[in-house]
Structure 1
Amino acid sequence: MNRFSLWPQAASEQAARVDLLFIGLLVISGAILLLVAGLLLVFCLRYRRGSSAPRGLLPGFLRRDVEIGWTTGTLFLALFLFWWAGATQLRAKDPPAGALEIHVAAKQWMWKARHPNGAREINALHVPRGEAVRLVMTSQDVIHSFFVPAFRLKQDVIPGRFTEMWFRATEPGEYRLFCAEFCGTDHARMGGTVTVMQPEDYARWAAAQPQEENLAEEGARLFTALGCSGCHAPASAVHAPLLAGAYGRMVHLADGRTIRADEAYIRDSILQPKRDVVAGFEPIMPSFEGLVDQGDLQRLVAYVQSLRGEAAR
């Protein structure tokens, strides 16, 4: 039987920080409300019609000090709140190194998850408690939004782009997953569950799933099938950038800019290769726009990510 609660359950590290920020804003707003209401009440009683309270002008220095005081106080309070909220949000953007990476694809009207060992889920997501989990997400049709209230996390999932979020669950259990962006007729039915398990239970669950090729292995086969290895292989006669160890590095471009080789850069290099040409190379790569779908892009990006350690061999 569910107990009535005025406060939603918190089941992640991010939830604790968001709740603290919300409580802080609530306390500050309540204090300002009480101060203003109290001053109004005092002034209404003291300066009511017929009272003997003095109504002359305040001395000039007092008027100036009051103006400077409340303006400065309001400014510093606004700057403090901006810093606090901004720091909380920025901290939630960068996942720690070694986070468990799970790929999520949104589609009317379901969530499809793919684990590193190839295990697949639909409208469900199993994660270990206490471990950082990084979700790399894309949409196959329209804009969706991945929302888990117990984690205090919401991230738009956009077609033609990779978006990501990360969390560290703290409480085992099942938590509701929603789509928080209107996405069509059955938007209200697009949901699921996030199951947080003890690490040993998650390991047993993952081992019991059907063993399939993971995204990187599927990406390697697709990489060869599309002919990409004919240019990017080390022994290729074509002068093209090598991909081993490229993911995550800073890339110098022909126009003088420098950009990090992240998921978005790899995706754009596949679909719009002439936009960000690597310095020292000719723009000879053809576009694969229309030849690969969002699922293929996820596979190819995962394959390039898997090559990050090969540069050291």
Structure 2
Amino acid sequence: MIWSIAPEQASTQAEAFDRIFAMMTGFSLFVVALVGALIFVFSLLFRAKRGTPRRSVKALQNRQIEVFWTAVTAFFAIFFFWYTSTASLDAIEAPAGAMEYHVEAKQWMWKTRHPSGARELNAMHVPVGRPVTVFLNSQDVIHSFYVPAFRIKQDVVPGRTSTVWFEATKPGTYRLFCAEFCGTDHAKMTGRVVAMAPGDYARWLETRAEGETLAATGARLFVSAGCAGCHEEGSDVHAPSLAGLFGREIPLADGRQVTADADYLRDSILLPGRDIAAGYEPIMPNFSGMLEDGEVEALVAYIRTLSEEEASR
């Protein structure tokens, strides 16, 4: 922790965030102290003595001082921009091999699904020292996934999938809050993230009944909803193959290019007429109103595994 009033520091992101905060705060205090000291010194040096007639003060014009002050200011502005941008970009994408958790926000609770399929309510058990990617969806209104000890906060918006990742650095129980006003019981929408040593986490997981993973649910839905009839290999319908699709750049019929991320796949299911892939007819049916948010999330999770399988070949 930087100060005793700061939240506990329990993730790699927290360490980076606190370094930036300490650096910016220290620099700001230095500038305030410098300006205050200069004001005090100049007030003493140039004060008007009693009985001395008023006179105009000649303006100080020194090109070297102006160039130096402008260069120093520009240097620090560029440095802070580079330093904070680098730390922010590092916090966007999780390392390869991160564990995938799926969290669904609903008035007024957090529903967690583990990689094994085990489920929790208002709690999330994670191993220490392992990167964790959390895929966030909302069933109703805007929520915000906020863990102060990890220095992470991510809005959860209905109709889209948000992601955030962290790596816990020490065992403990850390508070989880909703940081976006979401209704009358918003203050009660709390939970906990329990970071455990890897061995303890494995033993805890053995006590939990394994359920169906989200990708497995998506695989079943892929068949039952009729997606396989068009997108599987050998289909008579001219539809894009989904193997290796996730994360690729997709050329569209209107000349644009988009990345096949979670939002694109979700829109392709619910708004299929908006972004037509180049070389294909707009024959994709609209599943808006037919599939629930959780079912769309499951389909996206399944399509993501198809890309992982393709990459491992």
SS in structure 2 of the partner of residue 246 of structure 1: coil
Change (3 A) 1:59 1:19: closer
Q: Which residue of 1 aligns with 2:44?
A: 45
Output aligned runs, 1:218-257, within 5 Å.
218-257=217-256
Q: Which residue of 1 aligns with 2:156?
A: 157
Separation in structure 2 between the aligned mates of residue 58 and residue 159 of structure 1, nearest angstrom? 60
Output aligned runs, 1:46-65, within 5 Å.
46-50=45-49, 56-57=57-58, 60=61, 62=62, 64-65=63-64
SS in structure 1 of the partner of residue 102 of structure 2: strand
The Cα of 1:259 is off from its aligned counterpart by 2.1
Q: Please, which runs of 5 or more residues in structure 1 have no aligned partner? A: none
Separation in structure 2 between the aligned mates of residue 48 and residue 120 of structure 1, nearest angstrom? 72
The Cα of 1:55 is off from its aligned counterpart by 7.1
Separation in structure 1 between the aligned mates of residue 72 and residue 5 of structure 2, nearest angstrom? 32
Q: Which residue of 1 aligns with 2:199?
A: 200
| 1:223-265 residue CA offsets vs partner (Å, 9 max, x unmatched) | 1111111111212111111112222222222222222221111
Separation in structure 1 between the aligned mates of residue 309 and residue 29 of structure 2, nearest angstrom? 57
Output aligned runs, 1:71-150, within 5 Å.
71-150=70-149
SS in structure 2 of the partner of residue 136 of structure 1: strand
Separation in structure 2 between the aligned mates of residue 6 and residue 278 of structure 1, nearest angstrom? 53
The Cα of 1:68 is off from its aligned counterpart by 2.5
Change (3 A) 1:39 1:226: same
1:66 and 2:65 aligned: yes
Output aligned runs, 1:15-54, within 5 Å.
15-50=14-49
Q: Which amino acid aligns with 1:231?
A: C
Q: Which residue of 2 aligns with 1:260?
A: 259
Output aligned runs, 1:151-190, within 5 Å.
151-190=150-189
Q: Which residue of 2 aligns with 1:272?
A: 271
Separation in structure 1 between the aligned mates of residue 56 and residue 78 of structure 2, nearest angstrom? 36
1:8 and 2:7 aligned: yes
- Count of residues in correspondence between the two structures: 307
Q: Please, which runs of 5 or more residues in structure 2 have no aligned partner? A: none
SS in structure 1 of the partner of residue 192 of structure 2: strand
Q: Which amino acid aligns with 1:284?
A: I
Separation in structure 2 between the aligned mates of residue 5 and residue 84 of structure 1, nearest angstrom? 25
Output aligned runs, 1:284-303, within 5 Å.
284-303=283-302
| 1:109-133 residue CA offsets vs partner (Å, 9 max, x unmatched) | 0111111111111110011100000
Separation in structure 2 between the aligned mates of residue 309 and residue 175 of structure 1, nearest angstrom? 32
The Cα of 1:49 is off from its aligned counterpart by 2.1
Separation in structure 2 between the aligned mates of residue 50 and residue 233 of structure 1, nearest angstrom? 91
Separation in structure 2 between the aligned mates of residue 249 and residue 43 of structure 1, nearest angstrom? 62
Separation in structure 2 between the aligned mates of residue 158 and residue 58 of structure 1, nearest angstrom? 56
The Cα of 1:204 is off from its aligned counterpart by 1.8
Separation in structure 2 between the aligned mates of residue 197 and residue 59 of structure 1, nearest angstrom? 63
Structure 2-normalised TM-score?
Answer: 0.93
Separation in structure 2 between the aligned mates of residue 207 and residue 294 of structure 1, nearest angstrom? 29
Separation in structure 1 between the aligned mates of residue 309 and residue 229 of structure 2, nearest angstrom? 18
The Cα of 1:58 is off from its aligned counterpart by 5.4
RMSD: 1.8
The Cα of 1:6 is off from its aligned counterpart by 2.7
Give the share of equivalent positions with the same residue, in percent.
Answer: 53
SS in structure 2 of the partner of residue 304 of structure 1: helix
Separation in structure 1 between the aligned mates of residue 244 and residue 13 of structure 2, nearest angstrom? 31
SS in structure 2 of the partner of residue 88 of structure 1: helix
Change (3 A) 1:29 1:168: same
Q: Which amino acid aligns with 2:139?
A: Q
The Cα of 1:281 is off from its aligned counterpart by 1.0
The Cα of 1:67 is off from its aligned counterpart by 2.5
Separation in structure 1 between the aligned mates of residue 44 and residue 103 of structure 2, nearest angstrom? 62
- Larger mean CA deviation between 94-103 and 245-254 belongs to 245-254
SS in structure 1 of the partner of residue 155 of structure 2: strand
Q: Which amino acid aligns with 2:108?
A: W
Separation in structure 2 between the aligned mates of residue 45 and residue 72 of structure 1, nearest angstrom? 28
